[in-house]
Structure 1
Amino acid sequence: MSQGKGNISPNGHLFTVEILIEETTNGLAMEKLLHLLNTNTVKDYQILKGIDLGKLIEVNKKKDSAPSLQTSKKAVEAPLAATVPEAKAAISEAAAAIVQQLEKFKANNTLIRLTVIKGKGIKLNLPCRILNYDDSNQNVTVYHVDEKKVYLFKLNEIDDYVATS
C-alpha cells in the first residue's frame, strides 16, 4: 500500500499484525516470512521489528575495541536500538547490487549457474541465461539451457548465482 492518502486503492485494506514464526534462527524465520509476504495478494508491507540480522557482528566489533564489561553491555544494546529504515536501506542496497549483477548477465548473455530455493525447501540448481528482470514484481525470467525451457522466479527465491563462462 502506498503511504500517501491519494495513492491508496479504494479496494486496498491495511492490517497491523504480529506474526510468530518458529525456526532455528532469526534469518530462517525472516526468509519464511518474506516467502509468505511476497505474493500477488500482498501489495506492500513493512517489517517494523524482529530483524536481528548482523547484531553479532556489531557486538564483536565493539567488544574488540573496548574490553570492559560495561561496554560489552552497551554493544549488545546498541544494535537493538538500530532503526528499521537503516536496515531497509542496507537490504535495498544489497538487492540493488544483485539486480545490477543480473542485468549485467542479461546484457552480456552470460551463462550462469543459478541456485533457487522454492517452497517447502526444494532446491534447484540450473544452468541458465537471464532473459528479464521485472522490478515491479521482482520476478527474474531465466532460460534453462539444458531443458530449453523458460522459468520465472521471485528475486527472494534466488539463493546463489555463479557465472560459468
Structure 2
Amino acid sequence: MKQQPEAQNTTSFIFKLEVMLSDTHHTTALEQLIKKLNEANFADYRIESGIQLGVLMEQTKQLNPDIVPVPITSLEEKIVPNGNYSEITEPSNIFTKVNRYMNDNTLIRLVLNKGLGIKKSIPCRVLRMDEELQLITVYHVDEKQVYTFHLYEIEDIIA
C-alpha cells in the first residue's frame, strides 16, 4: 500500500467497521474487498477477520421486514462495558492508573471485549494514551505489534 503524505494541519482518524460482501467464495470476496480499499486511497487499513453469514441471520431479517435500524453511538455518548458506570464516572482514575503503568514501563495484561462474544487477553506495555478520545496504544510483547484500543473495549487491566 502506498504511503500518502499528510497535509499540514490534518488529523488522522481510525474507524472500525464491518462490511458484508456476497460472492461465490470467501477468497474472491476478500479480493473484492481489498481491491475496493486500495481504490479508496486510504492512508492505511487492516483486515482483522472475516466470517461467513449464517442462514439463520438472513432468515430472521426476511421474517422481520419492519426492523428498526439502531443509530450509531457517537464518541460523545460514552459506551459503558458490562454496565460498569464507575469507570465512566471516574475516567481520570483509569487514565491515572494507565499513566503510571506507562511511565513505569510496567508489563500489564489487558482483557479486551472485541464484541460478538470475542474476548482477548494480551500482555503489553502502554505506549500512549489519549484521554480526550479515550484511546490507549499498547505494544503487544508476544506479537511485537502496536495496537490502539478504545476504553470501552477494555474490560480489565491486570498489572
Query: Could you say which TM-score interval applies, normalised by the shorter chain?
Result: 0.3 to 0.5
